[in-house]
Each structure stands twice: as structure tokens, then as C-alpha cells.
Homo-oligomer: A and B are copies of this chain.
Amino acid sequence: MAVTERESGTELNVQFDERGLVPVIVQDVESGQVLMMAWMNDQALKKSLLTRKATFYSRSRQKLWVKGESSGHHQEVIEIRVDCDQDVVLLRCKSHGPCCHVGYTSCFYRCMEGEDSLRLVEERVFDPEKVYG
């Protein structure tokens, strides 16, 4: 597929990398908050579209995982977007519970404060010990 067609066309042509994966940004469709980033293979993308439950590929465990399978905090897929190059996916979701396993709504709860340190900018909303045991 030519570059102009990939950028301007309406044919889906996801550019999976050499591992067969594509980076996926998860955004809360109501608040606009960026929640997390993960990876999908072709199967995870199809499953997310079909089941409407965000499903990713775990690089460490080398298998599919449904977000919320342990915590119950799943992400309901409202819309799946691709970027101009079709090598990044944006999953616009309705959150059923907080997203981050550390206990925050979003994984992005700290911001840089100078070159070496971080500052907490979000409130913890659950205790991971109680959710994951």
C-alpha cells in the first residue's frame, strides 16, 4: 500500500512491527484522560473489536490478556482509532474501575520535577492489596 493511501485512505492496514505488535494508547472517552499504554498483536486487536473489552498482548508472558481479568476493572472499547501511519492504535474506552494496578485511575500519576525526580500529581483511588490479594 502506498504511503498516501495508508495516510488518507479508508482501508485498515495496521503496521505491526517486526514482533507483530503495535503500541496502543488507552484514553478514557469521558474524561479525556490518558490511562495507559500497552501492545496488541493482530489477534488482540480483533478480539478488542469483537468483544468490546480491551485485550492486549503481554510481551513478558507472551500471551493475550484481557484488561481487568484479575481486578475486574475492565475497559469497554467505544472507538478504535489509528494514526496517520497506521502504526499506533488509540483505544477510546469507558472505564469500569481504575486503570492502574498501583491504585490510580491512570498509570500517569507522576510528573517530572527537574531532571532526576518525580512528583505525585494524582490521588490513589484503591488499595492494590485488597484488589489483587
Contact = CB atoms under 8 A, between A and B. Distances in A.
A40 B102 CA distance: 25
A107 interface: yes
Nearest to A24: B37
Count copies of this chain in the complex: 2
Contacts of A107: 83-85, 88
A112 B8 contact: no
B11 A116 contact: yes
Nearest to A79: B111
A9 to B, nearest CB: 7
Most buried by B among A36, A37, A79, A109: A37
Interface in A57-88: 79-85, 88
B27 A34 contact: yes
Interface of A: 7-12, 23, 25, 27, 31-34, 36-37, 46, 49, 79-85, 88, 90, 100-102, 104, 107-121
